[in-house]
């Protein structure tokens, strides 16, 4: 149901005035097919787990989301480093797009993690090392996005955000390490989110989840990148127009 609404959006963006192109249209269609296959296998064909029951189906969307949230962070750090080094706007926009999409997938991870925890552990939230570090990741990403969306000149925003983005991956590592020590020092090793052994159709569903979510991630980053590029063009043009207007005023008076 939900995939269909996404479908009408993703496939109909091939018009001349949009962020779509032939490549992204094909990518969008492939993504939708992959998501359809994921729904088929994840919700219908794959069996329930012996220990987790039906809740194992949440894993097929939760685990890929978590992985891609980290991929997005790496993209942001790489983009920030190249921007600071080469002053390349292209990479700066990649960093921005990566961070925003990463924040989306982090939100998915947190929500699905909590919805998995309720039937499995009986509570929405436990101070599990992975859930906690994912929550910290969300806060770090929100910090980056807050700086990147400042109402200031492009140079100021981009450079300051790049410093924050540069430190994103080191921070994620340190936070993960500290949270892991913190939890393991105090209680028995945390409950693992992934099942002990996943095989057959369950493994295939998880694999499909990875493919479908990776495709969706790429599609989103490309489109978000183009929107960010357009935003900067409009910003710069608005400034140019304002300067031209002022100059014209000067000539008249």
Partner 1 sequence: MSNALILAEATGTWPYVAASWALVLGGMGAYALVTVVRGRRLSKKVPSEKRRWS
Partner 2 sequence: MIMLSDAWLIARKDLKLELRSRVALNQVIPFAILVLVLFAFALDPDRGLLEKATPGLYWVAVLFSGLLAMQRSFSVEAADGVTDALRLSGLAPAGIYLGKTLSVAVQLLVLEVLLGVGVAVLYGTSITGWLLLIATIVVATAAISTAGTLFGVVAAGLRVRETLLPLLLLPVLAPVLIGSTRAFEAALSGTPSEGWPWVGLMSVFAAVYVVAGIFGFGPLMEES
Q: Characterize 146-156 residue by residue with b for buried, 16 or more Cβ atoms within 10 angstroms of its Cβ, and e for exposed.
A: ebbeeeeeeee
Q: How many residues of this chain bind partner 2 (CB under 8 A)?
A: 31
Q: Is 234 in the site for partner 2 (CB under 8 A)?
A: no
Contact 239, 154 (CB under 8 A): no
Q: Is 150 in the site for partner 2 (CB under 8 A)?
A: yes
Which among 100-108, 129-137, 146-154, 185-193 is the span making contact with partner 1, rule CB under 8 A? 100-108
Q: Strand, helix or coil at 53?
A: strand
Contact 173, 190 (CB under 8 A): no
Q: Is 129 in the site for partner 2 (CB under 8 A)?
A: no
Q: Is 207 in the site for partner 1 (CB under 8 A)?
A: no
Q: Is 9 in the site for partner 1 (CB under 8 A)?
A: yes
Classify burial at 13, counting beta carbons within 10 Å of its beta carbon; exposed 0-12, middle 13-18, buried 19 or more.
middle
Closest CA to 213 of 92, 112, 94, 139: 112
42 binds, among partner 1, partner 2, none (CB under 5 to 8 A by kind): partner 1
- Cα–Cα dist 40/146, whole Å: 38
Q: How far is the CB of 58 from partner 1 (least distance, A)?
A: 5
- Cα–Cα dist 208/64, whole Å: 9
Q: Interaction with partner 2 in 169-188: which residues (CB under 8 A)?
A: 170-171, 174-175, 177-179, 181-182, 185
Q: Strand, helix or coil at 49?
A: strand
Mark residues 56-85: x for contact with partner 1 by CB under 8 A, - for none: -xx--xx--x--------------------
163 binds, among partner 2, partner 1, none (CB under 5 to 8 A by kind): partner 2
- Cα–Cα dist 188/192, whole Å: 12
CA angle 78, 111, 120 (to 5 degrees): 125
Q: Which residues pair with 53 in a beta bridge?
A: 49
237 binds, among partner 1, partner 2, none (CB under 5 to 8 A by kind): partner 1
User: Which residues of this chain interact with partner 1, rule CB under 8 A?
Assistant: 1-3, 5-6, 9-10, 13, 15-21, 23-24, 35, 39, 42-43, 48, 53-55, 57-58, 61-62, 65, 101, 104, 107-108, 111-112, 115-116, 118-119, 216, 219-220, 223-224, 226-227, 230-231, 233-234, 237
């Amino acid at each position: 149901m939900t995939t269909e609404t996404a479908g009408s959006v993703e496939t109909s963006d091939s018009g001349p005035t949009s962020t779509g192109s032939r490549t992204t249209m094909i990518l969008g269609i492939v993504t939708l097919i992959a998501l359809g296959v994921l729904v088929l296998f994840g919700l219908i064909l794959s069996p329930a787990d012996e220990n987790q029951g039906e809740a194992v189906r949440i894993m097929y969307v939760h685990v890929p989301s978590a992985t891609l949230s980290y991929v997005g962070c790496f993209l942001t750090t790489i983009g920030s480093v190249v921007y600071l080094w080469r002053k390349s706007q292209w990479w700066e926009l990649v960093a921005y797009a990566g961070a925003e999409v990463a924040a989306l997938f982090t939100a998915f991870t947190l929500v699905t993690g909590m919805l998995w925890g309720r039937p499995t552990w009986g509570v929405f939230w436990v101070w599990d090392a992975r859930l906690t570090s994912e929550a910290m990741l969300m806060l770090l990403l929100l910090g980056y996005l807050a700086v990147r969306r400042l109402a200031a000149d492009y140079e100021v925003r981009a450079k300051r955000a790049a410093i924050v983005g540069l430190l994103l991956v080191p921070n994620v590592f340190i936070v993960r390490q500290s949270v892991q020590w913190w939890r393991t020092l105090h209680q028995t090793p945390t409950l693992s989110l992934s099942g002990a052994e996943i095989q057959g159709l369950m493994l295939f569903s998880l694999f499909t989840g990875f493919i479908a979510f990776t495709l969706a991630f790429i599609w989103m980053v490309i489109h978000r990148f183009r929107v960010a590029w357009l935003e900067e063009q409009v910003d710069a043009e608005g400034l140019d127009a304002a300067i031209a207007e002022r100059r014209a005023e000067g000539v008249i008076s």
